[in-house]
Every structure is written in structure tokens, then in C-alpha cells.
């Protein structure tokens, strides 16, 4: 069997390796000159900036890819567990060190609200039930038939999937600070905690199950290790060439055409590219049914991302590896991002400081960071050529005020990415950071199927397909191929 994989994010690389292990002849094609997709690496004057993602959970999914070929991942990459997973900083500048140490967690919760200690314990137990069903049982199950979804509905309803993550958390936790902290996980996969199905509460337990890890040398070192494995196993890798068209004969895929006109024959085409963009730009739409066209039209997309990368000549030792800083408002801010599609000055942000764990990411006596700010996607019509610089300055001011004193005068290297980058370079519809939102009506069967609803031989892995975004999600999407190919 000849299989072509389009896109080299985690999902695409995992798909290529899994198909190779099934004796397919595999070609992986990447439009950029480097692999990784969202996990690309930017190097500037001695600084190494991971494009993202930077929170590594469920490392066994990475190990599995090496195990397919009887190889040990430790010979290729080095993952190290973090002691403090996130430091949360609230609007009053109080801090909470979030970790897998349940004794320390409960002590900190008790200091905020004694009554919520028991609620937290019960919440964790309930998210384990969600995790057992939603992740262990269903994450790598193909949801390409209505019956598969209908069969699971009673279990999903019993797990309160009709609730949002915030609503679920609030049924156990009364303190608003703790509600924010324990409901923020959907933002890691592009969802609004107030509309994302409570099934995604499983992320809370998934972190507790395997911890949060960092790849020494950055997430890009995982991509490098996997690229080395692909080369050793004879997967053909084509970089710097974009796929312009997926060729079809009636309702069957038979290959792809590159932007330089070259045709590559294939029995299967697996897209790590964003499904909406594939269906709209790369393939004949005449075979699409009325229902499928309606499905595409009704989709709601994740927020956009503003990502500011910077290096400093000052070392900020007091800043943790992962910091999440909340603004004054929570729901109102999320409403502006997801519904009103407008910017405001009361931002929340995620700050990544890899040099807290790995000094190799910056020159000696320097620090390395990126700060990620959720923003509206490009349905907002925001002109990022104007607003990008304004937001950068606002973010610097906010970080200087709360976290990084004298930041402005200590920055020696910087650049930023806006939703325009995600739309133009990563081909995501509306410049969304994570493809479609993880609402209940856009999950499992209601998501873009791993096996195309329109064409035989066309498959999808990655953020827009089942089970969704995040490293465990996209790696699990590649596992679905084991069951359908």
C-alpha cells in the first residue's frame, strides 16, 4: 500500500510511523523546510524558541512510536517530569502552585476555602470516571458511524457531558479562584470552559495520571528524534513542498499533486492539515452531500493565539516553568474572545520559561520565554498589522507589572506570531489556534471524521479530527488509523 501523509505535526509524524509499521510505503510531505507544524522551532541568536506545544502529557504515546520498531525512546529524546506543573497567579497577585502532590494541593486549597477541599477530592474522583471512559476507552475509537455515537450516548450523559467544564467544576467547587484554576484546561485545546463539554474535564485527571513533562532541548527535540526514527525506517520525507491538490477519481482518492506540478500516486492520503482547509482548498467539492456542507457551515472555531517570543539578558529565577496569569475578569474576557470577537486590555496569559528547567535554550546568563495570549480568531477581521504591535506592548507592560520587573529594558531578542501566521503558514481556517472548538456537538461523531465522509482513501489526524487537539489528542488520532486501515 502506498500512503502519503500531508503535514508533519505530531499527528502526521505518528500516522507516518504507524503506517510504516503496517508495511505501507510511506511518504510524508511538509510545506516548510522543517518538520513540526505547530511544534516548529525558531532559533534566534543563541535562543531556542519552541513554537509549541510545551506541555507534554501522556508520554507513553511517544514511547509507543519507538516501540513499534523495537527501539527505546530514551535513545532519541529525554523527557523530564516537572515538580510544579503550573503556577497560577490570580487577579490579586496571590499564587497557587499546581502539581501532582495532592497533600500540597489540598493545603493550598484549604488556605483559600476549607469547604472546597472535599469538593476537590470528589471532583478528581469524578474526572477519573470521565478519563476512564472518554480517554482510555474512546480516544482511539473511530467515530465514523452514527451507531458508534448512539451506543455511547447513555454513558456520556451519565458523565454529565451536557454540562460545560466550568459548570461541572462549579458543582464541586464554590470559590471563584479555584473554579477558574480547575476549569481552565479546555483552553489548552482551544475550547471555552463555559461551552466545552465536561468530557474534556478528563484532562485534569490525565495530568494526574502521567504528570507533566518537558523535553530537554525543547519540544522540537521530540520532533528531531521522531524524524531520525522515520529516516532509519525508510519513510520518505519531502520538505519545502506544498500539496496543491488531492487527486480523485469519482469518490476515490488516487494521489496528490505538489505545487511544482509533481504527481505522487497513493492508495491513501492522510491529512495532518486542518480538515476545513483541506475540504475547501485541496479537493473537489462536487461529491459533498448537502448534510456534509451543512456540517462544515455550522462549525464553531477555536480562539486565535497571539504568541510573543522573547529572550532577556536578565535571569528571572523566581518565575516557574509554566505560569498562568488570570486577568480581572474570566467569563467576560472569554465571551469577548469566542463570541464578541474583540480585543480588550484585561488579558489572561500563559508564560513559558523553559530555562527554568533547561539552560541550553538560551545563551549563558540569559533567559528564554514565550507568552501566549488567547485572542479572537480571524473571523474578528482584526488587522494584526496594526494591533499586533499594540498587543505586544500591552503584554510587556502587564508582565513587567506582575512578573518580570524591568522587562522592557532587558529584552534582547523578540518576535511575535498572530492568527495571520496560523491562517497563512499553518493553513488553519480563520487562523484558529486549534481548529474547531471541543463542544459536545463538535466531538466524536460530530467532529470531522478520521475516515473521510466524502472520499474513500482520505483520512484525517490532528486537532480537527477525533479526539481533538493537544499532544495526547493528536497522537491518539493516529492510533485510530490502526483500526481503520
Q: What is the DSSP string of 216-280?
A: TT-HHHHHHHHHHHHHHTT-EEEES--EEEEEEETTEEEEEEETTS-EEE-SEEEE-S-HHHHHH
E-state strands within 273-391: 304-312, 322-325, 349-352, 367-375
Under 8 Å between Cβ of 330 and 180: yes
Closest CA to 372 of 188, 97, 179: 188
Closest CA to 397 of 385, 386, 383, 409: 409
Under 8 Å between Cβ of 414 and 371: no
Instruction: State residue 372's pLDDT score.
Output: 97
Instruction: State residue 270's pLDDT score.
Output: 98
Closest CA to 270 of 281, 255, 286: 255
Q: Which helix (H) or strand (E) holds 401?
A: helix 384-402
Instruction: State residue 333's pLDDT score.
Output: 94
Instruction: State residue 108's pLDDT score.
Output: 98
pLDDT digits (tens, 9 = 90+) for 26-54: 999 999 999 999 999 999 999 999 998 89
What separation, in Å, do the N-terminal and C-terminal C-alpha atoms of the chain show? Answer: 10
Instruction: State residue 52's pLDDT score.
Output: 83
pLDDT digits (tens, 9 = 90+) for 1-22: 999 999 999 999 999 999 999 9
Low-confidence residues of the chain: pLDDT under 70: none
Q: Which helix (H) or strand (E) holds 97?
A: strand 95-99
Long-range interactions of 117-126: CB distance < 8 A, separation 24+: 119/172, 119/173, 119/174, 120/172, 120/173, 120/178, 120/182, 122/172, 123/168, 123/169, 123/172, 123/173, 123/182, 123/204, 124/204, 124/205, 124/208, 126/168, 126/172, 126/201
Determine the Cα–Cα distance for residues 169 and 85; give it in Å rounded to an integer.
Answer: 19
**pTM for the model:** 0.96
- Provide the 3-class DSSP secondary structure of residue 485: coil
Amino acid at each position: 500500500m502506498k500512503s502519503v501523509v500531508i503535514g508533519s505535526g505530531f499527528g502526521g509524524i505518528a500516522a507516518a510511523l504507524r503506517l510504516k509499521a503496517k508495511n505501507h510505503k510511506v511518504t510524508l510531505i511538509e510545506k516548510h523546510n522543517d518538520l513540526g507544524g505547530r511544534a516548529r522551532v525558531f532559533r534566534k541568536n543563541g535562543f531556542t524558541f519552541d513554537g509549541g506545544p510545551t506541555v507534554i502529557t501522556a508520554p507513553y504515546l511517544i514511547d509507543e512510536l519507538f516501540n513499534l520498531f523495537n527501539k527505546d525512546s530514551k535513545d532519541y529524546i529525554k523527557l523530564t517530569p516537572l515538580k510544579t506543573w503550573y503556577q497560577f497567579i490570580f487577579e490579586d497577585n496571590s499564587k497557587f502552585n499546581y502539581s501532582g502532590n495532592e497533600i500540597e494541593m489540598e493545603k493550598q486549597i484549604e488556605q483559600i476555602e476549607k469547604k472546597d477541599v472535599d469538593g476537590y477530592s470528589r471532583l478528581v474522583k469524578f474526572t477519573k470516571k470521565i478519563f476512564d471512559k472518554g480517554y482510555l476507552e474512546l480516544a482511539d475509537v473511530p467515530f465514523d458511524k452514527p451507531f458508534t455515537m448512539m451506543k455511547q450516548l447513555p454513558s456520556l450523559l451519565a458523565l454529565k457531558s451536557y454540562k460545560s467544564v466550568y459548570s461541572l467544576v462549579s458543582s464541586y467547587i464554590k470559590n471563584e479562584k479555584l473554579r477558574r484554576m480547575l476549569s481552565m484546561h479546555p483552553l489548552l485545546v482551544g475550547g471555552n470552559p463555559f461551552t466545552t463539554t465536561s468530557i474534556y474535564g478528563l484532562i485534569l485527571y490525565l495530568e494526574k495520571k502521567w504528570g507533566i513533562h518537558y523535553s530537554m532541548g525543547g519540544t522540537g527535540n521530540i520532533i528531531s528524534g521522531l524524524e531520525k526514527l522515520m529516516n532509519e525506517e525508510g519513510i520518505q520525507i519531502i520538505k519545502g513542498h506544498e500539496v496543491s491538490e488531492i487527486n480523485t477519481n469519482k469518490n476515490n482518492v488516487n494521489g496528490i499533486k505538489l505545487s511544482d506540478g509533481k504527481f505522487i500516486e497513493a492508495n491513501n492520503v492522510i491529512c495532518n492539515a486542518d480538515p476545513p482547509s483541506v475540504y475547501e482548498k485541496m479537493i473537489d467539492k462536487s461529491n459533498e452531500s448537502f448534510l456534509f456542507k451543512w456540517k462544515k457551515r455550522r462549525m464553531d472555531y477555536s480562539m486565535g493565539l497571539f504568541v510573543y517570543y522573547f529572550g532577556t539578558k536578565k535571569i528571572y529565577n523566581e518565575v516557574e516553568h509554566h505560569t498562568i496569569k488570570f486577568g480581572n475578569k474570566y467569563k467576560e474576557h472569554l465571551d469577548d474572545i469566542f463570541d464578541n470577537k474583540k480585543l480588550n486590555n484585561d488579558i489572561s496569559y500563559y508564560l513559558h520559561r523553559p530555562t527554568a528547567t533547561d539552560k541550553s535554550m538560551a545563551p549563558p546568563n540569559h533567559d528564554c520565554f514565550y507568552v501566549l495570549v488567547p485572542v479572537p480568531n480571524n473571523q474578528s477581521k482584526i488587522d494584526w498589522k496594526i494591533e499586533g504591535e499594540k498587543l505586544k506592548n500591552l503584554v510587556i507592560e502587564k508582565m513587567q507589572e506582575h512578573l518580570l520587573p524591568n522587562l522592557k529594558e532587558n529584552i534582547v531578542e523578540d518576535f511575535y506570531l498572530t492568527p495571520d501566521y496560523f491562517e497563512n503558514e499553518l493553513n488553519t481556517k480563520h487562523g484558529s489556534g486549534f481548529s474547531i472548538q471541543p463542544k459536545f456537538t463538535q466531538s466524536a461523531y460530530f467532529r470531522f471524521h478520521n475516515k473521510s465522509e466524502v472520499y474513500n482513501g482520505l483520512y484525517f489526524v490532528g486537532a480537527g479530527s477525533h479526539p481533538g487537539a493537544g499532544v495526547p489528542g493528536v497522537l491518539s488520532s493516529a492510533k485510530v488509523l490502526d483500526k481503520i486501515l
